[in-house]
Amino acid sequence: MPKVKTKAASANIHAVLGTDEAEVKRVAAELASNLTPPAAGDFGLEVIDGAADNADQAEGRVRSAIEALQTLPFFGSTKVVWLKNVNFLGDDQKARSAAVQSALEELSELVDSGFGPGSTLLISAIDVDKRRSFYKTLLKRGEVQVFDRLDSGRSGWEEEALEMVQQRAKKRKLQFDEDALDLFVLLTGGDTRQIDNELEKIDTFLGKDRGVNTELVRELVPLSRAGVIFELSNALAARDLQLSLKLVRRLLDQGESAIGILLVAIVPTIRNLLLAKDLMERYRLPRPHSPFQFISAINRLPGEATDHLPRKRDGSINAYALGIAAQKADRFETTQLIQAMQACLAANIKLVTTQLDHELILTEVVVKLLGR
């Protein structure tokens, strides 16, 4: 789970933002509880519902927050004003409204100038346009935590998801073996809510035992769309022709497009196998026992050896997927992988230019890769 946290001079301005709705709500509720003075009772927390239906409501919620911040706490104590579940900080019609922007400018001025030590402002929002001045004011003056949902369609998401799962499993004292951890990460797809739900399910099932293996993960964690795609990739890399064809058929039955299956599951698997095998042969890298062992080996290579490798958004190598491929690349010949990539290109053309049966086209690619 990507997380950005900034701290500024003002300790009474907090924002919990991001596209990971479950995590934003959890962290904001926890923060509200921690910030609310225990002795203040019902007067210590004033919640303003930021989920507005239209621009008029949105403007009203912002002005209610301004009024609450300018009102002194009862009995000389302190209070928290929580503008909760805000849905007008993005780039939709409500957010673009002149009245809403004017109200947010007033709130920005109040945040910028300060509203006294007796009140604390907490804002939680799911969709935020980080280009707007209000967001920049929060960054400048307050403590901001950003929780963005992982995009499982983006390269490199597995490493971030793996770190998140490890942290959450450690809190529960769950001990995953390497294969079980990889499988759990790919089945849950980086979805915070599902990760927490499945970890709780495993935790409850195990009781005093803390060891988690692949059999347990397969038994308890449902096979989602992302899970079927992972299973197909794994079956291809394991050279299991029968299972691969069965999973292709299952994805088609679930409504997945043939071109999607080709580009999301089959092509990346073959490409990573080919890239990993090429690196292992060219630089005499041994078959790794874990993906991270291969990552370390890649990081020791000269720059010209890795210039062609897939990159993440930050420019670093998407080495985790290559590490998984490297564990199974020895099952294939380089020429076979090249022919499979050529078959993928031919299949792509057939899928968009002909009326041939889609399952038949994908079957030809799979057989081309796994045929002995």
Whether the Cβ atoms of residue 29 and residue 84 lie closer than 8 Å to each other: no
Q: In which band, very low, low, confident or very high, does the pLDDT at 356 lie, cut at 50, 70 and 90?
A: very high
Res 73: pLDDT: 67
- In CATH terms, the superfamily for domain 3-147 is P-loop containing nucleotide triphosphate hydrolases (3.40.50.300)
Query: What pLDDT sits at residue 314?
Result: 64
What would the pLDDT profile of 136-169 be if each residue is shown by its tens digit?
888 888 888 888 877 655 556 777 788 889 999 9
Q: Which pLDDT value is given to residue 1? A: 44
Instruction: Read off the pLDDT of each residue in 97-126 and give the average, rounded to a whole number.
Output: 87
Region 24-39 average pLDDT: 86
Locate 95 and state its tokens.
């957010």
Of residues 92 and 372, the one with the higher pLDDT is 92
Q: What pLDDT was estimated at residue 42?
A: 63
Domains 3-147 and 157-222 share a fold: no
CA distances from 64 to 103, 271, 295 (A): 10, 55, 52
Report the C-alpha gap between 58 and 104 in whole angstroms.
10
The residue-averaged pLDDT of 222-231 equals 75
Pairwise CA distance, residues 342 & 349, whole Å: 11
226 with 150: CB under 8 angstroms?
A: no
Given CATH 1.10.3720.10, say whether it is the number of domain 229-370. Answer: no
Determine if residue 211 is left, alpha or beta; phi over 0 gives left, psi from -120 to 50 gives alpha, anything else beta: beta
Residue 2 has pLDDT above 60, yes or no: no
Q: Model confidence at 19, in pLDDT bands (50, 70, 90)? A: confident
- In the chain, where are the structural domains located? 3-147, 157-222, 229-370
Are 176 and 184 in contact, with CB atoms under 8 Å apart? Answer: yes
- The highest-level CATH class for domain 157-222 is mainly alpha
Q: What is the pLDDT of residues 325-345, one digit of tens each?
A: 999 999 999 998 999 999 999
**What is the Cα–Cα distance from 367 to 339, expressed in whole angstroms?**
11
Q: How far is CA 252 from CA 131, 172, 245, 317, in A?
A: 40, 37, 11, 32
pLDDT of 226 higher than 90 = no
- More confidently predicted of 292 and 302: 302
Highest mean pLDDT among 101-105, 178-182, 220-224: 101-105
Query: Is 186:227 a contact under the CB 8 Å cutoff?
Result: yes
